[in-house]
Amino acid sequence: MRLDIKLLIGASAIALMSMGGTAAAQDCPRGDLDTRFCDVDGDLIADIPTDPADQLDPDTLIFAYTPVEDPAVYKTAWSDFLEHLEAETGKDVVFFPVQNNAAQIEAMRSGRLHIAGFNTGSNPLAVNCAGFRPFTIMASEDGNFGYEMEIITYPGSGIEAVEDIKGKQLAFTSPTSNSGFKAPSAILKGDFDMLPERDFEPVYSGKHDNSILGVANKDYMAASIANSVKSRMISRDVISEDDVKVIYKSQTFPTTGFGTVYNLKPELQEKIRNAFFNFEWEGTSLQAEFEKSNEGQFLEMTYQEFWEVIRKIDTANGVSYACE
């Protein structure tokens, strides 16, 4: 985990570019996937290339976690898991600190990212445009998983209910975030007949911690956020529970999806998959961070089933997965 990321980026990008036209040249079903990919089995994710010449087996694997909070915090939090991943795969692993969702998707699409945790709202775009193959999410030890979107304000803001946001400001995180944009947009429109610009002023903070801190510090009057991020920030004493007030809480959504890029060798993908499921959390840096949001295991899942509600939200918002 100590190699130069810039050198790795160039090598991986060249490898991907050399085979960029493979899937496009094939006559295969792909649904909403980019033309570079195939989905013969109909599971909504890109198939692994059948030609061994199109499969990657890099000496160094690059891992990135969704940029919901300070990347420096998560480089430390993931350190024990990445050492385990090195032992399971026999390869060096580098933590790649991405600054926003779009950069993370582009990194995988261009061959600079092999293993990742993409946030809830970014999963469909990563799947369709970057060849992301998610297979697990974090869950509590008793198998519960997910988080809720909350709309928060600060005490004394004059906002007591969602309707009170009319004529005021609401902070989103980024357009690719489920709880930071997609879900609240659909809910505000469908349940409250409220549209951005017409009924309130939308602003964008970039990340959930920015939105939460912005409300706590009274820089934003209200914000839509993931309550799992808020819980971890309260546990780290970044904010206190009394700094913010919840005025809306959604249904439960799936949390960050973890997986690999589609074109790693099948046996390498299997080793990576096994590393997630046989990781022992007890006493690790990963447990120390994520037990703050009641997570303590990796739960097997399928994108087709677990992300159905998110795809429906995207449909309601008129979101297209067109890849540029």
Burial of 10 (0-12, 13-18, 19+ CB in 10 A): exposed
pLDDT of 316: 84
Task: Report how far apart the first and last C-alpha atoms of the chain are (Å, whole number).
Answer: 32
With 90 as the cut, is the pLDDT of residue 101 above it? Answer: no
| Geometric angle at alpha carbon 273, from 272 and 275, rounded to 5° | 65
- 222-226, strands of its sheet edge to edge: 201-204, 169-172, 222-226, 147-153, 245-253
Q: pTM for this one? A: 0.78
Specify which residues 134 forms β-bridges with.
259
| 321 confidence band (pLDDT: 50, 70, 90) | confident
How far is the C-alpha of 52 from the C-alpha of 28, rounded, in Å?
18
The residue among 23 and 117 whose pLDDT is bigger is: 117
Q: How many CB atoms lie within 10 A of CB 204?
A: 15
Structural domains present in the chain = 5-143+255-316 (3.40.190.10), 147-253 (3.40.190.10)
- Phi, psi angles (nearest 5°) of residue 39: -140, 70
How far is the C-alpha of 153 from the C-alpha of 145, rounded, in Å?
25
Four-residue CA torsion sign, 220, 245, 185, 197: negative
The residue among 314 and 320 whose pLDDT is bigger is: 314
| 320 confidence band (pLDDT: 50, 70, 90) | confident
pLDDT of 292: 87
Rounded to the nearest 10 degrees, what angle do helices 208-216 and 227-235 cross at?
60
319 token code pair: 């979101």
With 70 as the cut, is the pLDDT of residue 278 above it? Answer: yes
- Which residues lie closer than 8 Å to 156 by C-beta, 6 or more apart? none
pLDDT of 15: 41
SS3 at position 84: helix
For 269-299, give the DSSP string.
HHHHHHHHHT---TTSHHHHHHGGGT--EEE
How far is the C-alpha of 12 from the C-alpha of 112, rounded, in Å?
5
| Half-sphere exposure for 255 (CA within 13 Å, toward CB) | 24
With 80 as the cut, is the pLDDT of residue 38 above it? Answer: yes
pLDDT of 194: 96
Q: How many CB atoms lie within 10 A of CB 201?
A: 13
| Mean pLDDT of the 163-172 span | 97
| Geometric angle at alpha carbon 202, from 220 and 211, rounded to 5° | 40
How far is the C-alpha of 302 from the C-alpha of 197, rounded, in Å?
37
Note the pLDDT tens digit of each residue in 287-306.
Answer: 999 998 899 999 999 999 99
| 72 confidence band (pLDDT: 50, 70, 90) | confident
Note the pLDDT tens digit of each residue in 216-246.
Answer: 999 999 999 999 899 989 999 999 999 999 9
